[in-house]
Chains A and B, each alone.
Chain A
Amino acid sequence: MSVTPSLLDRSLRPLHRWVWAERGRRARKLLRFAETERSGGREIARAAECTSDPILRRLLLRHAQDEERHAELFGARGRALRKGAPSSQLEANWLAPGERGLDELRADRLSERALLAFLHLSEKAAARRFALYRQVLGADPETSAVFAEVLADEEFHMTYTRTQLERVATGRRGRALWRARGARIWKAYLRLAAALAGLLGHLVLTIQYFVLVPPFALLARRAARRERAGWHSAEARPAADLEGQY
């Protein structure tokens, strides 16, 4: 199976080239990818522990080992690039993420069918992204080779998840995949909604902080000045009084 980057990613190729051009950033991104792969591997191992299907368990365990190996590959290359490279804080992960999604997997809460569909879509998305990164990293053949090696595994993961999905959801593979796509969209919506709600909450609390808090802050600071450091008596509260929350 040959994996090609998505149309959107292909149209953003110059941007991706820019993201990966700087050595320091490249190193940071690879080290971050290593963390993501490792965390994804743990979740897949958890899925293997939860399933009662022995074939699936063996494949998931191998998948988990692959993720660990990817983490080592990315980590080793990241560390090699980092030596002597200028430090870059910007990672641009919003544009060029790693294997996004696996660290959101809650294997113990998914059916085998849902799990396989989710994994298949995640692996496919990751494979398409890694195919693009391999292309834009032409000037760094060693990093490109790392992506090529990881990509080969991703293709295997795409294949086995599809085959196993066909096995466990006989004749209903398409439906499972569409449900997984729907779940991904719903999760993305929830993430966006939570981020927006968080932002609004933050804004309201910040306004309150500057409008309501100052007089109390003044009192608290005055009280703090009177408070001495060192020992304080701990006997004020009776040890056996467990009914109060204060």
Chain B
Amino acid sequence: MRILGISAHYHDSAAALLVDGVPVAAVQEERLSRRKNDAAFPLAAIEWCLERGGLEPDELDAVVFYEKPMLKFDRILTTLLRAFPHSCRAFAQAMKNTVGEKIWVKGIIASRLGVPARKILFTQHHQAHAAAAFFTAPTRQAAILTADGVGEWATLTVGRGQRPADGPCRLELLREVRFPHSLGMLYSTFTAYLGFPVNEGEYKVMGLASYGKPVYAAEVRRLVPRTADGAFSLALEYFEFHTTARRSYSSRFLELFGPARDPLDPIDLDTAEGRRFADVAASVQLVLEELLIDLARALRRELDLPDLCLGGGVALNGCANARLLAESGFERLFVPPAPGDAGCALGAALVADRLHFGNPDRQLPDHPFWGPEVATADLARLADEDGLACHQVEEGALVDEVVEALASGAVVGWMEGAGELGPRALGHRSLLAAPHDAQMRDRLNLRIKRREEFRPFAPAVPAELADRYFQLPPGGVRLGRFMSGVFPVRPEWRPRLQAVTHVDGTARVQTVDATMAPRFHALLHAYGRRSGIPVLLNTSFNLAGEPIVSRAVEGYSTFRRSDMDLLVVGNALVRKARARTVERREAAE
């Protein structure tokens, strides 16, 4: 059975192709269109998935969209009606957006792909999140918790999943919290207040939180009171996201926390104002963690299952995930590599396969590498055209050469195999560097990634050695598989891991498994033999405002435009030195 899953029209659109219950391709539209967080209908992603699967659209058995458009429209319209007359401006804008395009998904899919309408299916948004989290996790049964900004009406759901070896799969969502009460919207409101772009700057809030103290925690708790049944609500007088499109916080919010940051002003942590913003970030982070832990503990008591699968955009919060693992009572926590909306494309296809068509469970490959493959020949051609020396070497020699470069302070662009699905570079589209000096972090932030200096970088370490350098709780290695948890760096190693140790002594660790990324794993070991520490700084291979690179030409372009020293694509290797000479000569001409 051939099923195409699609997510689109909000942020991070994507497509995923499932053949006989197993993914064969999945990619975010942004990786192909090169527009970060591209929300457009993912035609390029769909075309690529079908090409990868060797299929024509009419050979598909079903096309599944990741949410129910009319139910979502119901929520938008009802919310606007409830906010009358304050929703005047938002009403016109929302109607133009939704009636203009977003509710006609069935027609769009039918006309763009040429598939009959009867083959087009719709999951619920959080059902897709839950499926992406549960069906991809190596567990037979688990509790499920999904949380994001909003889907149709649901903003947070709890439930359970079962994948018996000899029977039909089950995925039940038991309860949900509904819009406008939303942990995702709470966090996004603070993201906007702190002057960061919503749906993109949430990482920055988490990074900034480490510099502050949660002195505003009591105020944040007033914004999100608990309900008698153990859930939560938002005190709506502090928010405006449900009434206007202009801003997400109200004047009362500003009375509580002070003036918002102008996005044009940099955050200076040496000033009182900069520290206030860090304190606000720390406070919302703390309250989010408290709420999630409390909800998860209740779920653990209720279902008495040892495993928890976490989905939705909130599951990208590595600090909260680590505390959930340590304090919720669950023994194992599974977060997929793409817990956000992009992963819903895969989740929607899995819902259709396992639940709608009732196909038996299949164990899925436990890796995120479902994107386009990188071609070594492309780099060789580009380098040749630009008069650069491109060495193609066998695996062992390549690893040795890269290790030498890393040890001498080089920043290496590392591309191999298929690209990752999801926001993390997990060793196939990575920028790698030595993790020892703080100067390396500053160089990467300022001269290569061109981003705020307070943002941390992640370490990658062989899974079997992770515990030596990082304080991982039981289940921490699994959480680190897709870089989903933030854990303390062991104090004795912090002086030698400065570039990847955040100000609070933590790091978002990637525990690299030899079966998932053998070559990257071998590189880490080789670096360990050379430097004494098998840890590398691993950050996504992109520049600020750009999506992670996908093809060799994009890696090459990023290499040429930044302060990187070495580019590795498959078994080919290019250094920068000579490139500058050619460029200067041409410019002079």
A contacts, CB < 8 Å to B: 27-28, 31-32, 38-39, 42, 45-46, 48-49, 54-55, 57-59, 61-62, 64-65, 68, 78-79, 82, 87, 108, 156, 198, 201-202, 205-206, 209-210, 213-214, 216-217, 219-221, 224, 228-235, 237, 239-246
Q: In the assembled complex, which residues on chain A have CB atoms less than 8 Å from the CB atom of B74?
A: 246
> How distant is the Cα of A163 from the Cα of B159 in the complex, in angstroms?
64
Q: Is the CB of A245 within 8 A of B68?
A: yes
Shortest Cβ distance from residue B87 to the other chain A in the assembled complex, whole angstroms: 8
Q: Is the CB of A229 within 8 A of B545?
A: no
Q: Is the CB of B587 within 8 A of A62?
A: yes
**28 residue pairs from A and B, CB less than 8 Å apart:** A27-B264, A32-B264, A38-B545, A45-B561, A46-B34, A49-B551, A54-B386, A61-B560, A61-B561, A61-B583, A68-B450, A201-B96, A202-B96, A205-B96, A209-B84, A209-B92, A229-B227, A229-B232, A233-B174, A233-B176, A234-B159, A234-B174, A234-B175, A235-B173, A239-B172, A242-B121, A243-B121, A246-B71
Q: Given the known A-B contacts A239-B127, A246-B71, are A221 and B82 also in contact in the complex, defined by CB atoms under 8 Å?
A: yes
Q: Is the CB of A58 within 8 A of B386?
A: yes
Q: Is the CB of A217 within 8 A of B84?
A: yes
Shortest Cβ distance from residue B86 to the other chain A in the assembled complex, whole angstroms: 11
Most chain-A Cβ atoms within 10 A of its Cβ — which of B64, B69, B91? B91
Q: In terms of DSSP, what is the predominant structure of the interface of chain B?
A: mixed
Q: In the assembled complex, which residues on chain B have CB atoms less than 8 Å from the CB atom of A62?
A: 583, 587
Q: Is the CB of B91 within 8 A of A213?
A: yes
**6 closest pairs, A vs B, by CB?**
A230-B227, A217-B84, A229-B233, A220-B81, A54-B385, A242-B121
Shortest Cβ distance from residue A141 to the other chain B in the assembled complex, whole angstroms: 23
B280 contacts the other chain (Cβ, under 8 Å)?
Answer: no
Q: Is the CB of B177 within 8 A of A235?
A: no
B contacts, CB < 8 Å to A: 33-34, 64, 68-71, 74, 78, 81-82, 84-85, 88, 91-93, 95-96, 105-106, 121-124, 127, 154, 157, 159, 171-178, 181, 227-233, 262, 264-266, 351-352, 355-356, 358, 382, 385-386, 450, 544-546, 551, 553-554, 557, 560-561, 582-583, 586-587
Q: For A68, give its contact among B71, B84, B95, B561 (CB under 8 Å).
A: B561
Shortest Cβ distance from residue B392 to the other chain A in the assembled complex, whole angstroms: 20
Q: Given the known A-B contacts A78-B264, A205-B95, are A58 and B583 also in contact in the complex, defined by CB atoms under 8 Å?
A: yes
Q: In the assembled complex, which residues on chain B have CB atoms less than 8 Å from the CB atom of A28?
A: 264
Q: Given the known A-B contacts A233-B175, A235-B174, are A242 and B91 also in contact in the complex, defined by CB atoms under 8 Å?
A: no
For residue A64, which residue of chain B has the nearest CB? B561
> How distant is the Cα of A235 from the Cα of B174 in the complex, in angstroms?
6
Q: Is the CB of B266 within 8 A of A79?
A: yes
Q: Is the CB of A231 within 8 A of B71?
A: no
> How distant is the Cα of A213 from the Cα of B78 in the complex, in angstroms?
11
Shortest Cβ distance from residue B527 to the other chain A in the assembled complex, whole angstroms: 30
